[in-house]
Amino acid sequence: MGKYRLLVFLTVAAIFILSTLLAGCGRKPMDKHLRYSVGAEPQTVDPRKSTGSPEATIEAQIFEGLTALDRYDHPIPAAAQRWDISPDEMKYTFFLRESAKWSNGDPVTAKDFVFAWRSALDPNLASGYAYQLYYLKNGEAYNKGLATAEQIGVKAIDDHTLEVTLEKPTAYFLSLLAFHTYYPVHRSTAQSNEKWAAKVQTIIGNGPFKMTKWVHNSKIEFERNEYYWDAAKVKSNKLTFILTENSATELALFENGLIDMGNNPPISEISRLIKEDHLQIHPYLGTYFYCFNVTKPPFDDPKIRKAFSLVIDREAIIKNVVRGQQKAALGWVPFGLPDAKADDDFRLVGGDLLKDKDVETAKTLLSSAGYPDGQNLPPITLLYNTSESHKAVAEAIQEMWRKNLGVNVSLVNQEWKVFLSSRHRGDYQVSRHGWLGDYADPMTFLDMFTSDSGNNDAQYKNSDYDKLITLAKKTSNPTLRLQALHTAEKMLLDDAVIAPIYFYTQLTMVTPHVKGYTHSVLGVTYFKEAYLE
């Protein structure tokens, strides 16, 4: 047995030595700079082509549009120092900063914008977000091959003057300009190298930071862009964005001190993170809702749709299921969007359009539709995309419908893309849905339910609704425009095309040392003035 004592001794000794060695060196001491978990690997960082949310945040650090959004999401001068707007609001003249430079020292010129916008609309570039530029005169026509690039309403008067002509007056155009599809790109690089956005060496931007390293599916590193016109305000010399889509991993990295900040904490940990003062909650321009297929019985009857919507106890779902201090959605358009007077909030002006947990009205509606206590209703299926959190919400609502309306609804989940095709095709009765605004105007929520909209998964067709949206898109009178939008929203909820559930919030897991970052309601995080204390 002596030999084995020795073996055991050696093993124990080895473990001991190894562990003290590891404990001694610990984790590699990192150079201290802000590390942020941005989400999944970006599909591209070409601002003309990207469509996702991590992409938008990455691009916001390395590019800058004519305008930027301030902390209240109002447009402020950025690459453009100032602008003139024609009285009919069709023509904008932008005066670019002469001090604005690309990260390689070249000046940012009006021609860079002209090139970027024209190429973003070029059918051969095949950008998924080309339609974000359909506001430009002939933008849509060119993208459809019906006009030439020169006919697009964007022109360089000289190196620092850009003239933009719109298809029709667009009240929120200045906000749109802060969106990434409107960023400039470095002309000679993009012209000579189709794959410029795939390699760090050729990614040239005009924003506060420049990209210095990109390890796919792992991390992106940025350094301060010394040529940036407002470089004096940039407080961090270095930033690292970690690319991971797993919320448990993000939490482990945070607790392990490998990141200072992340936007995707696991729901089960929210209360603890709040208690530990490690969670900040920002408003987010998005609505979580259930969408009725208005062509499928029994939801072809607005009374039934309304009953199903009214009976939902939104406060309970927020408090017990999603737990991120979301706001109960008693309208469709979320908080945080300007009304006719820019200081007014569209949601506050519109007020509550339905009552939360209105069981009595719901019951009355259901019996007046011919189904007292839910009797004789055809079988109903609720469709959602496979995910623990959507499942939890669906089960809560299934129970509310059962308890208060006496209806037994079955739940079906599908993998994300299968789900999307079912929903787009209208192959469902009631489906989970979520909508995030693209720009800071109620229109981004309301024009999706017009008869010809590709996003009208409810299959809702109402010519009065279409007319209101068309009117709001045409008029340059803000009072008239907002009135039309409010009426349209009310129509949508009176017809109960959708059952709004809650307005999203952005949960940011962050150490108290991180200062100066701003978070737009559009879901973009800006690190221009961020620093680690």
Partner 1 sequence: MLPFIIRRIVSLCVVLFVIITMTFWLMHTIPGGPFTTEKSLPDSVLKNIEERYHLNDPLWKQYGDYLTNVLTGDLGPSFKYEARSVNDIIAESFPVSAELGIAAVLISLAVGIPAGIISALHRNRWPDYLAMFFSTIGISVPSFILATVLIYLFAIKLDWLPAALWEGPEYGILPALALAGLPTAFIARLMRSSMLDVMAQDYIRTARAKGLSSFTIVYRHALKNAVIPVVTYLGPLTAGILTGSFVVETIFSIPGLGRHFVTSIYNRDYTVILGITVFYSALLVLLNFLVDISYAFLDPRMSLNSSKED
- CA distance linking residue 238 with residue 259, whole number of Å: 14
- Token pair 């069709």 is found at 90
SS3 for 293? coil
Closest contact distance (angstroms) between CB of 316 and partner 1 is 27
How far is the C-alpha of 151 from the C-alpha of 141, rounded, in Å?
A: 9
Site of tokens 């073996």: 7
CA 268/CA 251 separation, integer angstroms: 11
> Are 300 and 369 in contact, with CB atoms under 8 Å apart?
no
Residue 69 beta carbon to partner 1: minimum distance, rounded to whole angstroms: 20
**Which residues pair with residue 214 across a beta bridge?**
220
With beta carbons less than 8 A apart as the criterion, state whether 70 and 76 touch.
yes
Q: What pairing do the DSSP bridges indicate for beta strands 238-243 and 219-224?
A: antiparallel
Rounded least distance, CB 198 to partner 1, Å: 4
Residue 34 or 96 having the CB closest to partner 1: 34
Q: How far apart are CA 316 and CA 43, in angstroms?
A: 37
Minimum CB distance to partner 1, residue 159 (Å): 29
- C-alpha distances in angstroms, 412 versus 320, 395, 418, 419, 421? 22, 11, 12, 10, 14
- The first and second tokens of residue 109, run together, are 């010129």
Q: Which residues pair with 509 in a beta bridge?
A: 262, 279
In the complex, minimum distance from the CB of residue 428 to partner 1, in angstroms, rounded to a whole number = 13
Spatial separation of the C-alpha atoms in residues 225 and 304, rounded to whole Å: 57
Closest separation between CB of residue 322 and partner 1, Å?
Answer: 19
Residue nearer to partner 1 on the CB measure, 158 or 427? 427
- Which residue number, 66 or 285, has a Cβ lying nearer to partner 1? 285
Q: Which is closer to partner 1, CB of 109 or CB of 170? A: 170
Is residue 169 within 8 A of residue 90, CB to CB? The reply is yes
In the bound state with partner 1, the residue whose beta carbon lies nearer, of 48 and 486, is: 48
Binding site for partner 1 (CB under 8 A): 4, 19, 22-23, 25-28, 41, 43-44, 46, 49-51, 123-128, 130-131, 140, 143-144, 194-195, 197-198, 215-219, 242-246, 248-249, 252-253, 255-256, 258, 415-418, 420-422, 424, 434, 438, 454-455
Which CB atom, from 245 or from 277, has the smaller least distance to partner 1? 245
Q: Are 449 and 292 in contact (CB under 8 A)?
A: no
Return the number of the residue (220 or 488) whose C-beta is nearest partner 1: 220
User: Please, are residues 67 and 174 in contact by the beta-carbon 8 Å criterion?
Assistant: yes
Q: How far is the CB of 495 from partner 1 (least distance, A)?
A: 22
- Of 13 and 252, nearer to partner 1 (C-beta) is 252
